[in-house]
């Protein structure tokens, strides 16, 4: 099968996506597929068909800080203002399927999925509407609450926060971009004077959201084709589960299955599967929760395109279920054909 592995792109999560893409492409080639790795933003230097024979680039550690997007834009030399680089759509159109390894930005908010839907290009993962819902933390929290799923109280505004609005925020709180991932722009605010700078930093890419801080354990549950995988607990060595903790090896302890009671595991799986179905998610997706001291789960967000890097959580959960990385990649492809998203 010819598989175009789409990664990179123009997003603060670009480096994470490149790492996911390299690993996915290597796994697909090991399975016998003709797999081509393509950076959505930088595109191809030669004919699309030649990409299937190119060696994979070296895969070093993900940098502790996000990419320099302005330098990336400059490196393109002004050839195009669009987010699809040279030859990308041609490669994707000629493949049997696109394995979507994008993270953040247009790769995860439904815009790339909408383009593929309009062009009749088959791709892995969820459709445009489901991705848009999952990416928007404000909308996904509203949807979860409408289903009776517990989520922390929050404030979010359609644009800049009105004067005095921050006075209504209870402390401590978590401030985050309303539509971003990998914990970029996220901060825990405990003093009133730190709130305005945190909101400003979180709003640089769009809207900022402030939600009540829930003390507890970070438990996540991936869902593959509607069925929950074993949960995973993340315990950062210091601070909270930020960008560095997620992608620097050894920065966090990760246990799957999470050491929680069997009854709690069943509850978590049930809630995650219900949200997955309600959001109309497809393929592999991951729900994030806080488990408080009373054993109650608080929904944070659903990630429609979880990472597939060497330190990512969903592959670890799959491994706990006896599913190898290669088998996971194949299952994601199989689901895209079973679910017929075109």
Among candidate residues 21, 104, 185, 307, the one labeled active-site is 307
Residue 173, SS3 per DSSP: strand
Residue 52 is a catalytic residue: no
Residue 109 is a catalytic residue: no
Among candidate residues 100, 126, 140, 182, the one labeled active-site is 182
CA 184/CA 123 separation, integer angstroms:
26
Residue 247 is a catalytic residue: yes
Q: Is the peptide bond before 159 cis (omega within 30 degrees of 0)?
A: no
Among candidate residues 8, 13, 107, 222, the one labeled active-site is 13
Residue 13 is a catalytic residue: yes
CA distances to 11, 30, 51, 209, 319 from 33, rounded to whole Å, are: 28, 7, 13, 42, 22
Among candidate residues 242, 254, 288, 317, the one labeled active-site is 288
Residue 180 is a catalytic residue: no
- 100 by Cβ neighbours in 10 Å (0-12 / 13-18 / 19+) ranks as buried
Q: How many helices (DSSP H) and strands (DSSP E) are in the chain?
A: 12, 13
Among candidate residues 105, 233, 286, 312, the one labeled active-site is 286
- Residue 129 CB neighbours (<10 A): 14
Residue 307 is a catalytic residue: yes
Among candidate residues 247, 254, 265, 272, the one labeled active-site is 247
CB-CB contact of 90 with 100 (8 Å) = no
Residue 233 is a catalytic residue: no
Among candidate residues 180, 303, 312, 341, the one labeled active-site is 303
Residue 49 is a catalytic residue: no
Among candidate residues 41, 301, 312, 317, the one labeled active-site is 301
Catalytic residue list: 13, 182, 247, 286, 288, 301, 303, 307
């Amino acid at each position: 099968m010819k598989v175009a592995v789409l990664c990179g792109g123009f997003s603060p999560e670009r480096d994470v996506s490149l790492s996911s893409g390299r690993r996915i492409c290597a796994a697909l080639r090991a399975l016998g597929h003709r797999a081509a790795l393509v950076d959505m933003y930088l595109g191809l230097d030669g004919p699309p068909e030649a990409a299937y024979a190119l060696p994979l680039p070296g895969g070093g550690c993900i940098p502790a800080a996000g990419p320099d997007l302005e330098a990336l834009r400059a490196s393109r030399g002004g050839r195009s203002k669009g987010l699809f680089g040279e030859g990308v759509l041609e490669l994707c159109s000629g493949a049997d399927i696109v394995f979507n390894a994008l993270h953040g930005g247009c790769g995860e908010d439904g815009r790339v999925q909408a383009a593929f839907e309009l062009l009749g290009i088959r791709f892995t993962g969820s459709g445009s509407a489901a991705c848009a819902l999952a990416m928007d933390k404000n909308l996904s929290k509203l949807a979860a609450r409408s289903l009776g799923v517990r989520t922390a109280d929050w404030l979010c505004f359609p644009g800049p926060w009105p004067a005095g609005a921050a006075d209504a925020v209870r402390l401590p709180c978590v401030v985050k971009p309303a539509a971003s991932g990998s914990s970029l722009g996220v901060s825990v605010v405990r003093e009133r004077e730190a709130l305005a700078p945190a909101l400003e930093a979180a709003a640089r890419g769009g809207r900022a959201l402030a939600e009540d801080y829930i003390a507890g354990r970070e438990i996540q549950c991936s869902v593959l084709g509607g069925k929950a995988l074993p949960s995973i607990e993340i315990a950062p060595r210091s601070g909270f589960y930020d960008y560095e903790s997620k992608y620097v090896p050894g920065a966090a302890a990760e246990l799957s299955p999470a050491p929680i009671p069997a009854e709690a595991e069943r509850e978590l799986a049930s809630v995650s599967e219900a949200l997955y179905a309600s959001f109309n998610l497809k393929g592999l997706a991951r729900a994030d929760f806080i488990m408080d001291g009373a054993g109650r789960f608080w929904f944070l967000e659903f990630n429609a395109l979880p990472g597939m890097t060497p330190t990512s959580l969903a592959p670890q959960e799959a491994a706990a279920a006896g599913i190898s990385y290669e088998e996971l990649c194949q299952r994601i492809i199989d689901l895209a054909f079973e679910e017929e998203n075109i």
